[in-house]
Structure formats: structure tokens, C-alpha cells
């Protein structure tokens, strides 16, 4: 009975797979995968359906209406055909190439400076490689020897310069120490204090002291202190030598000589009292040379009385002159 039913059943038309229009499939890569899957499903379903119908017509015992459900297969073919049509009608995806176009345009418009720089460096490298290729080991050794000689020469020059600077610095230090010792001696001579200590310090600094400074010379203060007594003695000697004139003049001169009266204010004139007043004023200012020159206007008896003080003044002036010659100018 099953065979009769199988033979009398109306044949189900096979799906026309070739009628599916695949020419309109989009060219985009995003749709090619989905289209292949759907088309493969349609072909597989059609083949399965046709095989089932053919098997039933031939009376294959393992195919029965219960196992080969033609309605289900027909529905599957219809569904796949519809999906294929929908996929074909879908518009192709649009790929935005604007960003790539911009990058390409930027590369095309880039200035050729980088390329020129690279080309120049490549040319220099090639030139150096060519020079190295043409050199032999002997040339390299000669160049190395020349460089070493130049380095040694520069080192010697630098060492000589350093030694020169060191010697110059040592000389400046020594000169500064000697100058300080001489200035100390100058102050001691002016104040009359610790002159012997200042002389010893100058000798310790290697200063060759002249004869005027080999012994402690009189200071300015010593001369100022000793001058009043020396001036009175000189004035007395000068007045005694002038005991002439009238009795009144001789008496006046005698009284002045006995009392030792002399002028403490600066006076004009050429008498011994006026000369001594001017000399004392100059000495008070520290001008020993001017005071000594002023005293030469005294009469001989007065100068003889001042000879000891004058010798002290001369020694002081000689020491000052020797000291000034030793102290370098600033």
C-alpha cells in the first residue's frame, strides 16, 4: 500500500535553483560572506528536496512520507529564497575613504627637505666609506701617531701655561706680603712705635733693606717731641751772637735769652725767632723736609745748636726716601 501511495502521489515540482538571480549581488566584501552562506543553504535544500522526491518515486525503502517531510523542505526552500532576495536587494555598504585620502595628500605635499637631508647624509657616508676603503693600515698608523703627537704637544703647552700661572700667582702673593710689610714699616716710622718689629718683619719677607733702614731711624713723633728744646737752644745761641747795639737792645736780648722766650705763633721775618716759629709749624704738619729747609735761614750759631736735631731729621728723611723706593706704586 505504501508503494501505491508513493506512486500515485502528485510529484512535487523541484525548486528552480537556476532561476535565482545572482548577478545583482553587491560587490562589497561585507556582503559576500552572507550571500555565500544563504546561496549554499538554498542549493543544499534544493538538492535534498530533489533527492527525496526522486527516492520516493523509485520506491526507495528507507524513504517514507514520515521521514521525508516534503512540506517542511518546501518551507525551508521558500525561507532561504526569500532571505537571498532580501540580501540581494540590500544596498552595498559605503566605505569612508576620506581619512585615507587626507593622509595620502599630506604625504604627497610634504616638502622634499627631509629627502634632501637624507640624500646629503648618504652622500657624506658614501664619501667616508670610499676614503676608508682607499686607506691602508700604514696611513691609519701615521694618522694615529700624528694625532698622538699633537695631543702630547697640547698637553705640554697646557702644563707650561699652568706652571706659568702658578708662578705668577706665587709672585703676586709674595709681592702683596712684601707690600704689607713695607706699609707696616711706614706706619711704625711715622708713629715711632714698634719700628724694630716692623724692620724684622720686612727682613723676613726677603726685602733687601737699604742702609738707611738697617737701624731704627727717628720717627716723626720723635722729631716733633725733640724740636722745642732744640729750638730754644738755637734761639739762645743766635741771640747771644747778636749782643750788640744799644744798651737797651743788649739788655732786651739778654733777658730773652735768659728766659728762653720764643714765639709760638707763626711770624714773618728773618730773625731767628720768626724762622723757628715757621719751622715748628711745618713740623707739626708732618712736613719734615720743609721744616729742615726753613732752618737753613738761621745764623750759624743757631744752626750749630740744632745740629743734633738736624741729623735726626736727615736720618728720618733718608729712611722715608728708601721706604718710598721699596713700596711699589698702586
Indicate if the pLDDT at residue 39 is higher than 60.
no
Q: Are residues 158 and 195 in the same domain?
A: yes
Whole-number Å distance between alpha carbons of 138 and 80: 87
In a domain, 207, yes or no: no
The whole-number pLDDT of residue 239 equals 77
Q: Are residues 279 and 240 in the same domain?
A: yes
Percent of the chain with pLDDT over 90: 14
Q: Are residues 228 and 311 in the same domain?
A: yes
Higher-pLDDT residue of 210, 21? 210
Q: Are residues 176 and 222 in the same domain?
A: no
The whole-number pLDDT of residue 4 equals 36
Indicate if the pLDDT at residue 48 is higher than 90.
no
Q: Is the dihedral of CA 213, 216, 219, 224 positive or negative?
A: negative
Instruction: Identify the domain boundary among 170, 202, 234.
Output: 202
The predicted-structure confidence for 242-254, as pLDDT tens digits, reads as follows: 655 554 555 555 5
Query: Within a 10 A sphere around the Cβ of 323, how many other Cβ atoms?
Result: 20
Percent of the chain with pLDDT over 70: 62
Q: Are residues 240 and 143 in the same domain?
A: no
Indicate if the pLDDT at residue 62 is higher than 60.
no
Indicate if the pLDDT at residue 267 is higher than 60.
yes
Q: Are residues 225 and 316 in the same domain?
A: yes
Read off the pLDDT of each residue in 120-147 and give the average, rounded to a whole number: 74
Q: Are residues 183 and 226 in the same domain?
A: no
Indicate if the pLDDT at residue 240 is higher than 80.
no
Question: Quick one: pLDDT band at residue 149, thresholds 50, 70, 90?
Answer: confident
Higher-pLDDT residue of 24, 96? 96
In a domain, 114, yes or no: no
In a domain, 95, yes or no: no
Indicate if the pLDDT at residue 41 is higher than 90.
no
Rounded mean pLDDT of the chain? 73
Q: Are residues 229 and 158 in the same domain?
A: no
Question: Quick one: pLDDT band at residue 280, thresholds 50, 70, 90?
Answer: very high
Instruction: Identify the domain boundary among 52, 73, 89.
Output: 89
Whole-number Å distance between alpha carbons of 286 and 294: 14
In a domain, 298, yes or no: yes
In a domain, 131, yes or no: no
The whole-number pLDDT of residue 96 equals 62
Read off the pLDDT of each residue in 285-309 and give the average, rounded to a whole number: 93
Question: Quick one: pLDDT band at residue 101, thresholds 50, 70, 90?
Answer: confident
Higher-pLDDT residue of 211, 307? 307
Whole-number Å distance between alpha carbons of 12 and 130: 88
Q: Which domain holds residue 184?
A: 137-202
Question: Quick one: pLDDT band at residue 51, thresholds 50, 70, 90?
Answer: low
The whole-number pLDDT of residue 127 equals 81
Query: Of 187-201, 226-240, 304-318, which gets the smallest average pLDDT?
Result: 187-201
In a domain, 123, yes or no: no
3-state SS class at 191: helix
Read off the pLDDT of each residue in 258-266 and give the average, rounded to a whole number: 62
- Residue in this structure with the C-alpha cell 532580501, named with its chain if needed: 86
Q: Which of 71-80, 98-107, 214-223, 262-271 has the highest mean pLDDT?
A: 214-223
Contact of 272 with 305, CB cutoff 8 Å: no
Domains: count for the chain: 3
Q: Are residues 268 and 237 in the same domain?
A: yes
The whole-number pLDDT of residue 22 equals 40
Instruction: Identify the domain boundary among 171, 202, 233.
Output: 202
End-to-end C-alpha distance for the chain, whole angstroms: 148
In a domain, 18, yes or no: yes
Query: Of 47-51, 101-105, 152-156, 158-162, which gets the smallest average pLDDT?
Result: 47-51
Distances from the Cα of 268 to the Cα of 155, 192, 300, angstroms: 76, 32, 20
In a domain, 126, yes or no: no
Q: Are residues 245 and 190 in the same domain?
A: no
The whole-number pLDDT of residue 132 equals 67
Q: Are residues 196 and 221 in the same domain?
A: no
Higher-pLDDT residue of 239, 40? 239
Q: Are residues 187 and 221 in the same domain?
A: no
pTM confidence score = 0.46
Amino acid at each position: 500500500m505504501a508503494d501505491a501511495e508513493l506512486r500515485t502521489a502528485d510529484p512535487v515540482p523541484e525548486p528552480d535553483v537556476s532561476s535565482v538571480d545572482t548577478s545583482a549581488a553587491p560587490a562589497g566584501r561585507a556582503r559576500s560572506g552572507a550571500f555565500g552562506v544563504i546561496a549554499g543553504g538554498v542549493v543544499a535544500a534544493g538538492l535534498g528536496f530533489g533527492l527525496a522526491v526522486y527516492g520516493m518515486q523509485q520506491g526507495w525503502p528507507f524513504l517514507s512520507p514520515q521521514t521525508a517531510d516534503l512540506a517542511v523542505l518546501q518551507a525551508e526552500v521558500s525561507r532561504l529564497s526569500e532571505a537571498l532576495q532580501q540580501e540581494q536587494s540590500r544596498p552595498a555598504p559605503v566605505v569612508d575613504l576620506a581619512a585615507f585620502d587626507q593622509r595620502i595628500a599630506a604625504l604627497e605635499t610634504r616638502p622634499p627637505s627631509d629627502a634632501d637631508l637624507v640624500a646629503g647624509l648618504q652622500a657624506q657616508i658614501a664619501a667616508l666609506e670610499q676614503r676608508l676603503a682607499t686607506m691602508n693600515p700604514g696611513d691609519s698608523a701615521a694618522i694615529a701617531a700624528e694625532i698622538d703627537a699633537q695631543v702630547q704637544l697640547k698637553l705640554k703647552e697646557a702644563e707650561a701655561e699652568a706652571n706659568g700661572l702658578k708662578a705668577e700667582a706665587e709672585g703676586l702673593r709674595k709681592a702683596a706680603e712684601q707690600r704689607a710689610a713695607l706699609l707696616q714699616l711706614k706706619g711704625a716710622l711715622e708713629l715711632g712705635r714698634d719700628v724694630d718689629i716692623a724692620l724684622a718683619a720686612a727682613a723676613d719677607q726677603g726685602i733687601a733693606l737699604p742702609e738707611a733702614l738697617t737701624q731704627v731711624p727717628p720717627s716723626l713723633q720723635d722729631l716733633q717731641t725733640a724740636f722745642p728744646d732744640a729750638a730754644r737752644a738755637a734761639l739762645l745761641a743766635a741771640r747771644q751772637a747778636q749782643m750788640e747795639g744799644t744798651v737797651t737792645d743788649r739788655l732786651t736780648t739778654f733777658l730773652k735769652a735768659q728766659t728762653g722766650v720764643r714765639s709760638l705763633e707763626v711770624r714773618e721775618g728773618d730773625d731767628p725767632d720768626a724762622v723757628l716759629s715757621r719751622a715748628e709749624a711745618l713740623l707739626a704738619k708732618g712736613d719734615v723736609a720743609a721744616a729742615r729747609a726753613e732752618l737753613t735761614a738761621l745764623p750759624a750759631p743757631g744752626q750749630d745748636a740744632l745740629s743734633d736735631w738736624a741729623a735726626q731729621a736727615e736720618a728720618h728723611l733718608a729712611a722715608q726716601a728708601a721706604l718710598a723706593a721699596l713700596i711699589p706704586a698702586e
